[in-house]
Amino acid sequence: MKKQLLKISFVVFSSLQIVACTKSETMTIPVVTVSTKVVKDLIADTVLGLTSSGMPYSAGKYTFYSLENNAIVPSTDSASAKWDLAFMSTRILTNGGTSGTALGGAFIYSGLFDDLKTISADSIFKTDNAPTYAITTGSGKGWYTYDQLTSLITPLAGRVLVIRTASGKFAKLEITSYYKGGVTLPVSASDVEKLTKQRYYNFRYTYQSNGSKVF
Amino acid sequence: MFKKLLILLFFIIPQCLFSQAQFVKDTLFTNGDSVVVSATRSERKLSNSTVPVTLINAQTIQQTGSIRLTDILKEQTGITMTSGFGAGVQLQGLNPDYTIILINGEPLVGRTAGVLDLNRIALGNIKKIEIVKGPSSSLYGSEAMAGVINIITDATSKIPLEASLRMGTYNTKDIILNNGLRSKSVFYQGFYNYYATDGYSIRPNSNNRITTPINRLSTSQQIKFNINDRTSILLNARLTDETIKSNITVSNGGVTINSNGNEHNTDANLNATLNYHFTPNLKTSFRSYLTNYISKQDLLTISGAPYNDLLNHLFKRIENQTDWTLRKNLNGIFGIGAVWEGVKSSRYDSDKLRKENTIQYGFTQWEWIPTNKLIIIGGIRFDKNASYASAWSPKLSMLYKLNASHKIRLSIGQGFKAPDFRQLYLDFTNAAAGNYSVFGSAQAQKVIGQLNSLGQIGGLYNNYYLLKALQPESSTGIHLSWEWTPTNKTFISTQLFRNDITNLIEVQQVGTYISGAQIFSYLNIGRAFTQGAEWEFKQNINNQLVLSGGYQYLITGDKDQIAEIKAGTVYTRNASNISTRLTMSDYIGLPNVSKHKAQLKINYSNDKGLFANFRIMYRSKWAVNNTNGNQVYDNGDDFAKSYYSLHSSMGKEFTNGIAVQIGADNINNYIDAIHLPNLAGRTYFINLKYQIKYKH
């Protein structure tokens, strides 16, 4: 742990702060200030309508997002390192492997967002290798569950997406809701409402711009 | 049409042949000397039964206006009706799979997803219903884990002819014809019932009927021959045939598919019993039983694609039971039997091939009465199964009569539920929802092995290697009850119970296809418990008025989940959707289980044939869906709201055999279309009955 902190202290740049240290300690402990950002209602290929036979249809397009800039990236930049994550319905791409040209990767951590203070050294980041993805798709396997009876998608509690960004830096991300306004619909909501108010990502994330694995 | 029929019946009945009807005065305490059979597989006075038995007599069924088994069960303490795949029964918090339903001691078959739809059972010819809760109650074999419900009809009914017509809300019609014949040695009872309803729509702005139009015909024929003083033969035949018009809306992945068509269910039961008394102290009975349940769904989806589903369950059983009274205070029962059963289903690999199982079993039970205050019963049953592991069911129960007004009962025992055919043989791939597959445990390894050799398997989970012959699910129960009758007008009982269930069979993912679609099978992995308390009372206020009620407190839990919660690895979400650690105080336990359930009834009846009753049922909230992102049920999940419903009925039996009854159910019009689809809004009924009784 100490070794790791030491190593980190070399790569920490602007946000580095020195705090008081006791005489007994011979090294300075860097405390990194990172802020947690909240993203609301990021659309991810929302349903545009229903066909005459009742099938939902959408544009079939990803929404590209930069964690570094906390902003949507135009899809014309999809072949660049400008985006970190791309969202389309329940699928989330990282910018690497079969999905992109950059250094992106991810893994899913079981535990609380606030408890994840350091990405442990032995963590293995996966990269996208379609049809399998670093952020596993499928109910109960990655970040959400899908209930066939209620047709509702619920983010799994206690799951943190640990992201390696396009530029090789790190972020942690917790999805809080898949529905518009951040409120999971009641079971009794109509099928149409369940279709049209889903695919709105609400999440919070912490981006570590200094390249360290400490949040 | 039906009115005409009824009028016709009135005319063809030669009324003058018979004497006027005699009223049976109903006091709740007539139960005191009633005879029950379900608790010990032998006739015992209710007051001498070592396990508590709930007894519902024909009069109660009639006066509450109950026509199907569901109607009367939902008014009992500690019983909850479930919805989904018909109306099932939940005893002491355990799912419908775990309660065996018997008609005259013979089991009904034909369960969908473990649920036996109790609407199938008409009550028009029932003499009584006995309910025994807990696994320590009986020696009935598989399914008798949560309890036993035994429906008893009587060939020796004293009513030669009875006809009734009931009309109710939603164009509901129920026509009953009962006829009986008796000579010195031959007794016959015939029962015919026609039931039809239009169903109802309680979803606003929707044509989607919750209960779809149903036509149901039931008949039961029962003949008893008393050949001589020592020998009697009993023949029972029962047939229920129903057609349900289905307009099903299936939502999968947000895609809604409408299907139209019919569901057709036939339930046939045949039973022959020979009873022989060697001596007054030694008697034996041979029983043979055949039952067949056939359920067919023929639907057309909106796109014109047919959807057919077939279930054909055939069950045969022979059994011999010998009752031997060794001494005045010691008697024993010995039984052996064999079961052959087979199921054909379109959800198995082929609906042409019947999946089979055979069971051989033996049981013995001993009753010892060391003093006039104490009765002890011990018994054990062994079931040897061909398709899965065998099972022992031991039990021990005792009754201690402290004095005239206090009785203590204690029973401990084990029950089991065999893996059902679905868990063994299901071969189902849901093309409509991501092509996931579920394979029964008996052939999962073989089927997945074949798929693997075809290169279709993407990965196998550790659970795949754990697949082996399924063990029966097993439950150990302990029940303690205290019955107190301070005066001959008051009855109070308190019961404490705990059931520990192991080897629960649960669906688990065992692998994935190349495409990533999941593959599931069944494994014995779950552990759960249910425990609680029940209070019941009856109070005769005067000769005409009786107040009665009951309350059940119930807590349940999944032991593995509790261990995970205590280890801090279960998460939930707070009000702002942020993940937090789940604590035990927020843990709910098993879904669809209410912590509190209560009922209160007031009954009036006088000696002029007039009766009226008013009943209120209460059920506290219950968890229905996991909506906060963990796999356990906790306070953050989706609940059905607590509710109460009011019911009332009144009627008059005239001395000429005519009886009129009117009633209203769910008077407060409580509706929860999602969670209580079987509870219609406020409904009314009127019932006319004409009855002829023999002279004594």
CB of B303 less than 8 A from some CB of A: yes
pLDDT band at A19 (very low <50, low <70, confident <90, very high): very low
Helix (H), strand (E) counts: chain A: 2, 15
**Can you tell me the mean pLDDT for B148-156?**
89
Query: Do A113 and B578 count as a contact with CB atoms less than 8 A apart?
Result: yes
**Can you tell me the mean pLDDT for B197-221?**
76
Least confident of A26-35, B288-297, B393-402, B536-545: A26-35
Q: Is B9 left (phi over 0), alpha (psi -120 to 50) or beta?
A: alpha
- Biggest CA–CA distance in chain B, Å, is 82
What whole-number distance in Å separates Cα of residue B593 and Cα of residue B167?
34
A193 to chain B: closest CA residue: B254
Length of chain B: 696
Query: Which two three-digit tokens encode residue B514?
Result: 């190349």
pLDDT band at B553 (very low <50, low <70, confident <90, very high): very high
CB of B580 less than 8 A from some CB of A: yes
B638-640/B622-625 β-pairing:
antiparallel
Phi, psi of B530 (to 5 degrees): -135, 140
Q: Which of B255, B257, B626, B672 to mutate to test the interface with A (most CBs of A within 10 A)?
A: B255
CB B341 within 8 A of CB B385: no
What whole-number distance in Å separates Cα of residue B127 and Cα of residue B317?
24
Residues of A within 8 A of B577 (CB-CB) are 155, 176-177, 182, 202
**Can you tell me the mean pLDDT for B616-624?**
94
Query: Which two three-digit tokens encode residue B223?
Result: 């003949």
Q: Which of residues 81-140 of B touch A (CB under 8 A)?
A: none
CB A187 within 8 A of CB A159: no
Residues of B within 8 A of A131 (CB-CB) are 515-516
pLDDT tens figures, A76-103: 999 999 999 999 999 999 999 999 999 9
User: Is pLDDT above 70 for B562?
Assistant: yes
- Please list, in sequence order, all residues whose beta carbon lies within 8 angstroms of the beta carbon of residue B575, skipping any fewer than 6 positions away: none
CB pairs A-B closer than 8 Å: 96
pLDDT tens figures, B291-327: 999 999 888 877 777 778 889 999 999 999 999 999 9
Element (H, E) at B616: strand B610-619
CB of A177 less than 8 A from some CB of B: yes
**Can you name the residues that pair with B483 across neighbouring β-strands?**
B407, B493
User: Is pLDDT above 90 for B236?
Assistant: yes
Residues of A within 8 A of B628 (CB-CB) are 154, 157
- Tell me the helix, strand and coil percentages in chain A, rounded to 5: 10, 40, 50
Task: Tell me which amino acid residue A112 is.
Answer: L
Q: How far is A191 from chain B (nearest CA, A)?
A: 7
Query: Which two three-digit tokens encode residue B10?
Result: 């009135």
From A55, A150, A174, residue closest to B579, measured CB to CB = A174
CB B76 within 8 A of CB B56: yes
pLDDT band at B263 (very low <50, low <70, confident <90, very high): confident
Q: How far is B214 from chain A (nearest CA, A)?
A: 25
Query: Which two three-digit tokens encode residue B54?
Result: 């709930």
CB of A182 less than 8 A from some CB of B: yes
What whole-number distance in Å separates Cα of residue B426 and Cα of residue B431?
15
CB B392 within 8 A of CB B475: no
CA atoms within 13 A on the CB side of A1: 3
Query: Do B577 and A191 count as a contact with CB atoms less than 8 A apart?
Result: no
CB of A156 less than 8 A from some CB of B: yes
Work out the end-to-end distance of chain B between its first and last CA atoms, rounded to an integer number of angstroms.
35
User: Is pLDDT above 70 for A8?
Assistant: no
**Closest C-alpha among B101, B107, B147, B149 to residue B129:** B149
Query: Which two three-digit tokens encode residue B42?
Result: 């032998």
Q: How far is B577 from chain A (nearest CA, A)?
A: 5
Query: Do A110 and B569 count as a contact with CB atoms less than 8 A apart?
Result: yes
Residues of A within 8 A of B581 (CB-CB) are 112, 158
Q: How far is B213 from chain A (nearest CA, A)?
A: 23
Q: How far is B116 from chain A (nearest CA, A)?
A: 21
pLDDT tens figures, B672-693: 887 888 888 899 999 999 988 7
Residue A168 confidence (pLDDT): 94
CB B694 within 8 A of CB B17: no
- DSSP state letter for B648: E
User: Is pLDDT above 60 for A20?
Assistant: no
Element (H, E) at B532: strand B518-540
CB of B15 less than 8 A from some CB of A: no
CA distances from B660 to B26, B164, B609 (A): 17, 10, 10
CB of A161 less than 8 A from some CB of B: no
User: Is pLDDT above 70 for A53?
Assistant: no
CB of B302 less than 8 A from some CB of A: yes
pLDDT > 90 in chain B, percent:
56
Instruction: Report DSSP letters for A153-188, one per residue.
Output: EEEPTTEEEEEE-TTS-EEEEEEEEEEGGG-PPPTT
CB of A36 less than 8 A from some CB of B: no
CB of A196 less than 8 A from some CB of B: no
Residue B166 confidence (pLDDT): 96
CB of A22 less than 8 A from some CB of B: no
**Can you name the residues that pair with B646 across neighbouring β-strands?**
B616
SS3 B73: helix
- Tell me the helix, strand and coil percentages in chain B, rounded to 5: 10, 55, 30
- DSSP state letter for A132: B
Q: How far is B304 from chain A (nearest CA, A)?
A: 12
Q: Which of B428, B430, B461, B577 to mutate to test the interface with A (most CBs of A within 10 A)?
A: B577
Query: Do A53 and B251 count as a contact with CB atoms less than 8 A apart?
Result: no
SS3 B213: coil
Work out the end-to-end distance of chain A between its first and last CA atoms, rounded to an integer number of angstroms.
14
Task: Tell me which amino acid residue B342 is.
Answer: G
Distance of CA B324 to the CA centre of its chain: 31
Task: Tell me which amino acid residue B618 is.
Answer: Y
SS3 B472: coil
pLDDT tens figures, B87-143: 889 998 888 888 999 999 999 998 887 888 898 899 999 999 999 988 766 688 888
Residues of B within 8 A of A195 (CB-CB) are 254
Query: Which two three-digit tokens encode residue B21?
Result: 């009807």
What whole-number distance in Å separates Cα of residue B294 and Cα of residue B84?
19
SS3 A10: helix
**Closest C-alpha among B26, B89, B145 to residue B477:** B145
A202 to chain B: closest CA residue: B577
pTM of the shown model: 0.84
- DSSP state letter for B420: P
Residue B30 confidence (pLDDT): 43
What whole-number distance in Å separates Cα of residue B21 and Cα of residue A173?
79
CB of B205 less than 8 A from some CB of A: no
What whole-number distance in Å separates Cα of residue B339 and Cα of residue B341?
6
CB of A197 less than 8 A from some CB of B: no
Residue B179 confidence (pLDDT): 92
CB of A195 less than 8 A from some CB of B: yes
CB A53 within 8 A of CB B254: no
Q: Which of residues 419-438 of B touch A (CB under 8 A)?
A: 433
Q: Which of A40, A90, A151 to mutate to test the interface with B (most CBs of B within 10 A)?
A: A151
The mean pLDDT value of chain A amounts to: 84
User: Is pLDDT above 80 for B525?
Assistant: yes
A32 or B410, higher pLDDT: B410
- Please list, in sequence order, all residues whose beta carbon lies within 8 angstroms of the beta carbon of residue B45, skipping any fewer than 6 positions away: B33, B34, B35, B36
CB B233 within 8 A of CB B273: yes
Residue whose entry in the numeric block shows the structure tokens 């059920």: B619
Phi, psi of B679 (to 5 degrees): -95, 105
Query: Which two three-digit tokens encode residue B242?
Result: 């129903």
Residue whose entry in the numeric block shows the structure tokens 């109802």: B200
What whole-number distance in Å separates Cα of residue A146 and Cα of residue A144?
7
Query: Do B252 and A194 count as a contact with CB atoms less than 8 A apart?
Result: no
Which burial class, exposed, middle or buried, applies to B16 when counting CB atoms under 10 A from its CB (0-12, 13-18, 19+)? exposed
What whole-number distance in Å separates Cα of residue A97 and Cα of residue B466?
34
What whole-number distance in Å separates Cα of residue B221 and Cα of residue B240?
12
What whole-number distance in Å separates Cα of residue B469 and Cα of residue B388?
6
User: Is pLDDT above 90 for A138?
Assistant: no
The answer to whether ipTM exceeds 0.95 is no
CB of B569 less than 8 A from some CB of A: yes
Residues of B within 8 A of A55 (CB-CB) are 255
Q: Is the peptide bond before B107 cis (omega within 30 degrees of 0)?
A: no
B436-439/B427-430 β-pairing:
antiparallel
- Please list, in sequence order, all residues whose beta carbon lies within 8 angstroms of the beta carbon of residue B450, skipping any fewer than 6 positions away: none
CB of B279 less than 8 A from some CB of A: no
CB of B579 less than 8 A from some CB of A: yes
| Residues B531, B536, B537: CA angle, nearest 5 degrees | 165
From A151, A158, A186, residue closest to B251, measured CB to CB = A151
CA dihedral B89, B337, B190, B605 (to 10 degrees): -50
Q: How far is B664 from chain A (nearest CA, A)?
A: 28
